[in-house]
Amino acid sequence: MGTPVRTIGSGRTDAGVHASGQVFHFDAQWNHSPQALLQALRVSLPVGISPRKIDAVPTSFHAHLSAKGKRYLYRICKGWAMPDRDRYVHSMKERSLDLEAMQEAASCFVGTHDFAAFSANRGTGDDEPTVRTLWRSEWKDRGDELHFFTEGQGYLYKMVRSMVGAMIDVGLGRIPAQEIAEILQTNKRTARVVSAPAKGLRMDKVFYRRPQRANSQK
């Protein structure tokens, strides 16, 4: 009773980014059911944090080190987003996007690449490796919204937002779709890549087994 408990999450997100699929683990003594602990956490945690479920796991499980990949979702409202959802989407207002061109640009990110041109420096002085593998990068038309899904082994700081920002410029006709592959190959961040607003992005799922391509669609 009263013993500090350390929680370890699957990873960090940029400031302003939401997470509907965050996973964390902790070690603690609990003499009741997982459901009772879930209810206790739900009434104790601050507004904005709501655990979905709790599972007992082996001591070998680690929320971060055991993860095999993640899925991110970026939401774009085709027009003006109403106040009740404006916090969670990037509104295009009066601007229209060329989805076919954006889809072509998205395909450039699939595979193993050096994503230095689509990342940002955290300012910590750390030299983080910039090679990452993505097995999914695609747009879906959801009526009044466009959704971008990406799945991969790991992501760099502001990487998804930078990818989306560049693809929005493609959709607006500012950058040719084929130029995305050229920017990727430079391995260097320039002013040509602008990060999309954080509020449209959420970490959607953490994978602890790499998903099969046929089962990863959403």
Summarize pLDDT for 126-177 with one digit per residue, the tens: 678 999 999 999 999 999 999 999 999 999 999 999 999 999 999 999 999 9
Domains delineated in the chain? 69-215 (3.30.70.660)
1 versus 176: which is more confidently predicted?
176
Residue 109: pLDDT over 70:
yes
Residue 1: pLDDT over 90:
no
Catalytic residues: 14
Helix (H) / strand (E) containing 184:
helix 179-186
Q: Is the pTM of this model over 0.85?
A: yes
* Intra-chain end-to-end CA distance of the chain, in Å: 42
Whole-number pLDDT of residue 215: 46
Cβ-contact 148, 142 below 8 angstroms: no
Distance, CA of 139 to CA of 47 (rounded, Å):
31
Tens digit of pLDDT for each residue in 87-102? 899 999 999 999 999 9
pLDDT band at residue 120 using 50, 70 and 90 as cut-offs: confident
Whole-number pLDDT of residue 214: 47
